[in-house]
Structure 1
């Protein structure tokens, strides 16, 4: 806080300053700059902290007026939308108890405690009522209250009363916001009045445990979204519909790739086609790492002592599948004492054990160990979702052991390696630098060195990045890769994590040029994240229409009649001999039916064989997505074309005339 006497100093973007008394409202400062700016203002920010126009200013600093052009304005609008939703629900369902209503990445939600789940008709009624609240142009009236005053306001709302228990600091401000008949316990910020919410949509309702605790009561969560512009809302809704069509859980069944069974919750059962897809992806990852990485296989089960040494037992235990020691239990150990082992949730400690078992020279570094072993994490049953959230999975997990002076060059190498992987699939990535979290291991000195080293390496690469304060791993800072798919959704995938703690905990060393022992640094690296989740993303990114090299079935050969079935089998055999995944469909169904089936299964190429093609050694090929268009080519040319697309990993099959 900067102040002259008792006045607060606000520094505007142009460098000019305003001196204001503590408690001055944000709107008063904006009005002093200009009435036009006040009309456009959504909120303000002081030293990056967003607050609305009706919140008293209590500190000086860099002062910015947030208009709808500022990305931060959308969160303010959406948070206000959550309050308008709650206003509408309480009008129509006054018995509903109110929970939380935050803005989230793509919209907002609000939680309610009601006797029966909300129906689609309920959502339609709530949305219509929201339009009425918006038309009534209620101001968001802010009030600061004491604990006692707040408890009187929310005497009939047990969820809010519980939230008030969290205010343990006497100096913490408790505020409420009222729009028309509805008052909520909230810190804000909000738009000036309800009329600012013009373009919104209620999307769905789902169950959600109060405060995310599965032991607590189930609430009804209404999801919604909002934008400042109508075309942005329409584009988002279009993408949501497109996402439904691309849902990997639906396409996984349609394309016969994987299944799930209640007898193995959170573990995918890969079909023959799905296994081919999985193995093709894994082979690609292996191929790219053949020269510069050392693949090892390590055990799945480790002792409690190892997890205590790594820090996972104290920080990650609730997510681990623990194993009881039968002999200890029979000897009278408590259930907690008898927990002696765990299935591994990650590969880090096993690589540390392996590196530490041998002596290493500085000349050997960096050493890059990679493992594709099965991992297990004890995810909540309610969090499981297709392939994107599972309990059993495999990662392309790598740990690099290097000298401190190699950090910059190694990070550059790994950045290029990871981004090159995504480019193969037509995916683009943005980088995020995540710093130390509140819950962490290791000294501040180690964290200072790790953050400084990783940040310097990242900046030395020249690549733009976003800062994510407090989002690092519990053992070190990291660079995360957010990958954008074909319909604009971002997925957090790869990571580069710098770790000074593990070498200390595992007493790792290498012999330096001075013939003395030195500590290496460890980099944790993943590219796909997990194969399961990456495949889910690829299914949705390609809408199941995989590139030829990745497709489980690359060619379907279709004889027109039994008369040419033998020739079709010969064509199929030649393609298979060349390493192409070809299937001959000799079913008795009509040709049109079989073609339609191939289209539904999203096969890249169909090769139709008639009498003329058999006599000329040719096939009539139909390219996925090209409609009824056919191209007559020799079997040899078709085979060469396929092999070239597989070799180059072309993203789409070539249309007629492109070969």
Structure 2
């Protein structure tokens, strides 16, 4: 399936025919949500006169406003605020744009005793505009808005939650209360949005990680550090092994590099100048300062620089599952999606300028192969070009950008161009994957780099004997194993395909008398590389089955006296239902084939006989 640049984070969910456009795709929704945020702020200040407003922008699916209020908002308060909003909507109050001088705006703000607005005003360029809501309420705003509140549908909005937020996003500033809301044109759109929101909760990887015993984040060890439990570790190993074999087949070699290095390396690479806020502090060892790595790139660069290279050796393709450490603020960490220690599926290609197109195309092919194995086949692709501030010669930038364009064209993938959105060190391709409920996730990136080869004085001997700089390509496909694992878990809702499941088959002995046979079957399965277990709990069959279903095990194999006598099992598949009685040898063959072919479920050679 070809990638699509038009895929949306609000693509209709499976079975749905209702399209939910993002705010950035709909001028009408932009006006509705912007206006609804003002209506909410007006309602809050009517009910809570001591609450001060700060900022209240739209989001892609709704809106929010931040308030400095002495009273913490409760669920009951949200209901009261919503009722007041409906009263305001029904009044059909006009929303009018007024252009004022800076002095008049400041006078209005001081009269209301709104210090946050003074700070906002200081950062606004003239002309200064505000929007009034009737004659009762106003705020600094550039718009746009609906003409009057009667254009807002009181049946198509909801106040969703309250969260903490720091003023200006700085944890050293005052903590505010943020009320999130959503608004749509119709009640049907709101209902669909709520359905998808509930579906997202059901798929939350943090809950599933606990329920399925995959991973945890232990406070005693520190925030943002992941503990992989045996079941999750099995899956990670499967993912890593698949990744390695795919890279070997694609012409890569693997590297293993240190987790720390002398601080001077990070000065040379530029990370101390441009990335220090996201780095942990250095540690003193033998009177030298060492730094935990936030990136793998400088280590690959040093490996390249360990000896002089010839043009005949290029391209060089090196990949590494390299664990890095970055300081993330407490408020932004989120399960596996944002952590402080994570493993990047990093790779770097050192090539000649004329090899760029071919190498980018190889990377796109490998990206498609790997992502497709996990059922991600629809993508949103952006090509980012040279920004105003950048390094490198014009000719090299033009050649590099043309190489990216040509590779995408030959691949047949649609994309959008982000003019000036590239890194200062080179153009790039970013790829978002669409999950089962239409959400888009940033994962893969391909970046050309003219900076590190220059900083580290990388060279190769050209055909004419001169010394030239290689082109360096950074690329990651998963982005990070942790984040991809979280995305994948939510995509499957924890119901993993057979080849990837941490426990593929659970044997359910009906009585103690058949336990010896169950252990024999377990030995055969394990010997064939099938991840299996025996439930020794002694519970009744109904509970044995329920327990297996709760753990989302792909295949449950019931063993009773008849099965033990005939060397068979009675199979129940999560995806295909009751498969009937099957000889153990046939189960082994089907499971081995599913693993080899990375199958979602067992493909039986012939229908099993019904069991009694």
TM over 0.5: yes
1:647 aligned residue (572, 585, 596)? 596
* Preserved CA contact (<8 Å) 1:252 1:258: yes
Superposition map of 1:194-233 within 5 A = 194-198=149-153, 199-233=156-190
Match of 2:68 in 1: 113
Match of 1:295 in 2: 254
Aligned CA distance change for structure 1 residues 474 and 105 (closer, same or farther; 3 Å)? farther
Aligned CA distance change for structure 1 residues 353 and 620 (closer, same or farther; 3 Å)? same
* Preserved CA contact (<8 Å) 1:393 1:530: yes
* Preserved CA contact (<8 Å) 2:391 2:450: no
Q: 2-side partners of 1:656 and 1:216: how far apart? A: 65
1:284 aligned residue (218, 242, 258)? 242
In structure 1, stretches of 5+ residues that fail to align are 1-66, 329-337
TM-superposed deviation, 1:587 = 1.6
Highest RCO, 1 vs 2 (Cα 8 Å, sep ≥ 6):
2
Give the SS at the match of 1:102.
coil
Which shifted more, 364-373 or 488-497? 364-373
Match status 1:177 vs 2:131: yes
Match of 1:11 in 2: none
Give the SS at the match of 2:356.
helix
* Preserved CA contact (<8 Å) 2:353 2:399: no
Match status 1:244 vs 2:228: no
Superposition map of 1:78-477 within 5 A = 78-155=33-110, 156-167=113-124, 172-180=126-134, 181-198=136-153, 199-262=156-219, 263-291=221-249, 292-325=251-284, 340-427=289-376, 428-436=378-386, 450-477=400-427
Give the SS at the match of 2:248.
coil
Aligned CA distance change for structure 1 residues 438 and 587 (closer, same or farther; 3 Å)? farther
Give the SS at the match of 1:234.
helix
Match of 1:331 in 2: none
Q: 2-side partners of 1:314 and 1:225: how far apart? A: 40
Aligned CA distance change for structure 1 residues 618 and 396 (closer, same or farther; 3 Å)? same
Match of 1:500 in 2: 450
Give the SS at the match of 1:222.
strand
2:567 aligned residue (592, 599, 617)? 617
Give the SS at the match of 2:524.
helix
TM-superposed deviation, 1:245 = 0.9
Aligned CA distance change for structure 1 residues 494 and 532 (closer, same or farther; 3 Å)? same
Match status 1:71 vs 2:22: no
Q: 2-side partners of 1:636 and 1:437: how far apart? A: 62
Q: 1-side partners of 2:214 and 2:25: how far apart? A: 43
* Preserved CA contact (<8 Å) 1:556 1:603: yes
TM-superposed deviation, 1:123 = 1.2
TM-superposed deviation, 1:129 = 1.8
**TM value normalised by structure 2:** 0.90
Match of 1:488 in 2: 438
* Preserved CA contact (<8 Å) 1:97 1:112: yes
User: Residues 381-420 of structure 1, C-alpha deviation per residue, up to 9 Å, x if partnerless?
Assistant: 1111111000000011001111111111111111121122
Give the SS at the match of 1:79.
helix
Q: 1-side partners of 2:401 and 2:101: how far apart? A: 41
RMSD, matched Cα: 2.3
Q: 2-side partners of 1:620 and 1:85: how far apart? A: 59
TM-superposed deviation, 1:70 = 5.5
Aligned CA distance change for structure 1 residues 261 and 69 (closer, same or farther; 3 Å)? closer
Q: 1-side partners of 2:201 and 2:607: how far apart? A: 32
* Preserved CA contact (<8 Å) 2:514 2:561: yes
* Preserved CA contact (<8 Å) 2:63 2:182: yes
